[in-house]
Amino acid sequence: MRRCFVFAAGSFYGLRERPSPGDLVIAADAGYRLCRSLGIVPDLALGDFDSMPEPVGVPVRRVPVEKDDTDTMLALKTGLEEGCSEFCLYGFAGGKRLDHTLANLQSLLYLRRRGARGWLYGDDFVWTAIENESLTIHKEVEWGLFSAFCLGDRAGGIDEVGFQYPLRDATLTPEFPLGVSNHIVEPEAAVTVRDGALLVGWELPHEKA
């Protein structure tokens, strides 16, 4: 299982895991600055470079400013083309662009529907997408937060076990955030969705940037 690390230009809240030999590392546009600050040399710098000069000394793929894909989506597509099935995403949230944060969260379902798993790291939180499946979550923070949101018009057959507010065969819709702000109370918790897709996120131990 090959991993792809993508570094983007949003807020950075700490590196949970460093790339290892064999991992693919992509800097999406100004995410290159984050790579440099971390002492990480990307395998590819990709983007329209409208927010920074084109890097030198690393392979570069320059793309037009006017395009259908964001720079981060192009990075994800590149990782899939290279056979990666696990994606660690940094700088994909926060910053001044809520629209980009929302787009990046949606891209987690894009990865899932192509047989890959994305882990989007925010401010002591990690997010991923699940569809017609179960996911086991290990509690890392006492009374750690957990939230689930519907990705679509509805998601049914939802179970949440090991949480303060458990669910059994529930339905979530995009119009009412019933799944927000739960708490993990067991060493292992599990969330299942039998019909539809969910965006799920949970709290991680505090990590300094």
**Helices 71-81, 98-112: crossing angle, 10 deg rounding:** 20
Range of the domain at 39: 2-123
Same domain for 119 and 133, yes or no, is no
Give the integer Cα–Cα distance in Å for 7 and 28: 6
Domain match, 19 and 115 both: yes
How many structural domains is the chain composed of? 2
Which of 123, 152, 175 terminates a domain? The answer is 123
Indicate whether 41 and 108 sit together in one domain: yes
Last residue within a domain, chosen from 62, 94, 123 = 123
Has residue 209 been placed in a domain?
no
pTM: 0.95
**Residue 51 confidence (pLDDT):** 79
Structure tokens at 4: 């792809």
CATH number of the domain bearing residue 11: 3.40.50.10240
Helix (H) and strand (E) counts in the chain = 3, 12
What would the two tokens of residue 154 be? 């509805």
| pLDDT at 40 (0 to 100) | 97
Q: What is the pLDDT, as a whole number, of residue 209?
A: 52
The ranges of the chain with pLDDT < 70 are: 208-209
Q: What is the pLDDT of residue 67?
A: 83
CA distances from 65 to 16, 46, 48, 62 (A): 31, 12, 5, 9
Asked, for residue 105, whether it belongs to a domain, the answer is: yes
